[in-house]
Amino acid sequence: MPLPPRVLPPLRRESPMSGLDRRNLGPLQVFAQSISAAAPSAAMAAAPAVAAAAAGSGVLWSFVVATVLALLIGLGIGQFTRRMAAAGSLYSLTAKGLGAVAAFACGCALLVGYGLLTTAALTGSGVYLQDLLGRAGIEVGWGLVAGIVLVLGALATVCVLRGVRLSAQVVLVTEAVSITLMLVVFGLLLVRVGPDLAPAAPDRGVAGIAAGVLPALGAFIGFEAAASFGVEARRPFRTVPRAVQGTAALCGVLYLVAAYTQVVGLGRLPGGLAGQPEPVSTLAALQRLPWLSYLLDLGIAASFFACALATGSALVRVLLSMGREGVLPAALGRTHPRYRTPHVAILVALPLATLLPVVLVATGTSTSSAFVTLLNAAVFGYLVAYLLVCVAAPVFLHRIGELTRGALAAAAITAPALLAALVVFTLDNLGGPYPALFGAFVLAGLAWLGWLRARRPAQLARIGIYDETSEADLLGGER
Amino acid sequence: MSPETPLSGRQPKAVRSALAVLEEVVAAGPGVTAKEISAALKLPPATTYRLLNLLVGEEYLVRLPDLRGFALGRRAGRLATPVAVRPPAAARAIVEHLRQRVRWGVHLASYAAGRLTLIDPDPDHPPSDAALLARYPHVSALGKLLLADQPDWRAIVRELRSFTGRTIVEADHLGAELAEVARTGLARQCGELQERRGCLAVAIRDVVSGELVAGLAVSGPAERVAEPNGELVALVRDHAGQLAPLLA
């Protein structure tokens, strides 16, 4: 069959994402961003107990299901990241499948998710350092915690500002230290606890396992952070999808080890794992290794700091994309000529994320309850964004003529599961400040959308910029 | 992250299919879609998509802005060795003129297809092995000119191999030097390939498009190359300027 003669579509001379430090991050650095944003060290210590409250000893199966779900979400994200390199993460990806309005919703959800997770991570780092000082016998008032958060926030702002390679390096080292500490802690506990097959038998059946999936899935949020480094990764189409999938798999394994250790180790205590406010510390004390708690606190605080850096970096890249599209003020789309980072977005977003927990603590909210509230609200944003991108994936593949049965099947499993998780999560949190908080987010988003429709319809339609192929990328098309 | 697996029995077929996909993109021209490639090669669609994504990931292919169409990427240029074209007589005369003015070796190199090829090496002062220069552009002045002109020099340098104690093997250090080379259009290496030898090279650019087409180098004792050499640089630049309209 003779093919019609082809005309090369006009190409840009310069990528719309120029100004960022293009193609400069190695695979390990990209991987570290995703791992850090998922903050597995913190989740290893806290998530199993939360999930066990719903799932009982079936909590291991809850984590297995959550890992499979995370891998499927990663598959959906990978359909995009193997084909386009974006800085706007799931926001820019959703645009290519579902169009501007859905992408806008995803963008709002991401701003909530990334913004509040950055804030929560800074708070978490402060909380665990406070714990560490408390264990050492130093009484810590709210002033000192606020001070710690401010210092950490300033440090994070400087790192993110001074170049993506520097912050990636800090993230890589911090997270490596943190995971090593956690492996030491859990390794020692596991040796003491010994093998026991009992937890394989769930005591609350399938319903219990299902109820535990949502908190288990919450432990994975942030694992897609590599998707916002597409422009800066050296080989984005290879590294980014691998980083996202690799993070889901690695976190899954870490969580299973952590959950197993805690279920077995605390099984004899009244209430089991679910009854423990500080499960790992209790377990450490039970095994006569109280000094492990220091390592634990340090590891978690470091992990949260890396999480704030990685999530903050992802947040400002979403703001950068929105600034360049005209959805947000154009100033946010600027990049620093020397550091090649979105400096305006960084100087707006990161100080805000640092001040929010300080204000919350100063107004009398306890640090730990501020942390939990922020984290839960962030999970809401993430779930919405994951749902949208998973629905967008098969539509996108169909649009470019590359839909396969496998991709369709993955979306058919993931999307309903995420929708169910979202509904359950919303119903679960009908008490407390959440309905008002979520309502406020939705109203703000709708108002913003209405304004864009009325005043900037062209910019709204342009949503979804990414690092397009430019003339210089083509063979023989150099300049 | 990628464990090295031995070549299994099925893989030769995959390699053959990947090469067929590359050929099909060349034959059909830029903008060909995955569906069309799959139909033309009678490959299962899922296999075609996987191979295309692999080739895009390795940057042999690029996706066009509609995300449907494919074209050859810059890296595909490395699959063919460019034919070294003998420069025109007028250009050789200019190079010869420079040889008579300086007592160092004078070499002319072309950068066709993003690769360093010596097209007029000095017969009286033979340069280093051409294959070595092409393979390790970071140790020669001519190679540094080429690297400094790339949007991403790291994509071309496979290995920062060390030849002498003075070879630059640190990526950030090399990056800073290349930025300086890009700014001045003048590259130097002093004993980075051979302890006692060094060279200076200036860029020759297309007079209309500004594209880097060739480089003119003088090579001599390393310690002499390290000197400012104001007059020599001016002389080489002057000859490079005369060569530009003849080589583009």
Residue-level pLDDT at B7: 59
Instruction: Mean pLDDT check: name the lowest of A339-353, A385-399, B209-223.
Output: B209-223
Mean pLDDT value across chain A: 90
The distance of A7 to chain B (nearest Cα, Å) reads: 8
Angle at A52 between CA A46 and CA A53, to 5 degrees: 100
DSSP A415-467: HHHHHHHHHHHHHHT-STTHHHHHHHHHHHHHHHHHHHHHH-HHHHHT-----
Q: For residue A1, is pLDDT > 50?
A: no
Per-residue pLDDT, averaged over A278-287, amounts to 83
Per-residue pLDDT, averaged over B187-215, amounts to 91
CA atoms within 13 A on the CB side of A86: 33
Instruction: Mean pLDDT check: name the lowest of A98-107, A369-378, A424-433, A449-458.
Output: A424-433
Of the candidates A11, A234, A406, the beta carbon closest to that of B154 is on A234
Contact A472, A12 (CB under 8 A): no
Residue-level pLDDT at B77: 78
**Quick check: B49 and A404 CB within 8 A?**
yes
Structure token digits, residue A269: 């205590």
Give the pLDDT band of residue A209 (cuts 50, 70, 90).
confident
pLDDT cut 90: percent of chain B above it: 55
Residue-level pLDDT at A5: 47
Q: For residue A148, is pLDDT > 60?
A: yes
In terms of average pLDDT, the best of A43-52, A56-65, A346-355, B81-90 is A346-355
Per-residue pLDDT, averaged over A188-216, amounts to 79
Angle A367-399/A434-455 helices, nearest 10 degrees?
40
Residues of B in contact with A392 (CB under 8 A): none
Give the pLDDT band of residue B238 (cuts 50, 70, 90).
very high
Residues of B in contact with A18 (CB under 8 A): none
Residue A240 to residue A31: CA distance in whole angstroms:
8
Of the candidates A3, A31, A404, the beta carbon closest to that of B46 is on A404
Residue-level pLDDT at B2: 44
Neighbours of B38 (CB within 10 A): 22
Residue-level pLDDT at A479: 33
ipTM of the complex: 0.86
Residue-level pLDDT at A424: 86
Residue-level pLDDT at A392: 97
Residue B203 to residue B212: CA distance in whole angstroms:
7
Q: For residue A304, is pLDDT > 80?
A: yes
- What is the b/e burial string over A431-461, where b = at least 16 CB atoms within 10 angstroms of the residue's CB? eeebeebbeebeeebeeebeebeeeeeebbe
Residue bearing the bigger pLDDT, A472 or A213? A213
List, for residues B118-151, the tens digit of each pLDDT value: 899 998 888 888 888 888 899 999 999 999 998 7
**Quick check: B63 and A96 CB within 8 A?**
no
**Quick check: A235 and B28 CB within 8 A?**
no
Pick the residue of A21, A475, A478, A479 with the most B CBs within 10 A to test the interface with B by mutation.
A475
Per-residue pLDDT, averaged over B150-175, amounts to 85
> Where does residue A365 rank: exposed (0-12), middle (13-18), buried (19+ CB within 10 A)?
middle
Residues of B in contact with A242 (CB under 8 A): 1-2
Q: Which amino acid is at B180?
A: E
Residue A86 to residue A227: CA distance in whole angstroms:
7
Q: Which amino acid is at A82?
A: R
Q: Which amino acid is at B12?
A: P
Pick the residue of A81, A162, A478 with the most B CBs within 10 A to test the interface with B by mutation.
A478
List, for residues A335-383, the tens digit of each pLDDT value: 999 999 999 999 999 999 999 999 988 888 888 888 888 998 999 999 9
Give the pLDDT band of residue B75 (cuts 50, 70, 90).
confident
Residue-level pLDDT at B3: 47
Residue-level pLDDT at A478: 43
Q: For residue A271, is pLDDT > 90?
A: no
Element of type H or E holding B72: strand B69-72
Instruction: Mean pLDDT check: name the lowest of A53-57, A213-217, B232-236.
Output: A53-57
List, for residues A68-127, the tens digit of each pLDDT value: 999 999 999 999 999 999 999 999 999 999 999 999 999 999 999 999 999 999 999 998
Pick the residue of B21, B26, B62 with the most A CBs within 10 A to test the interface with A by mutation.
B62
Residue-level pLDDT at A2: 45
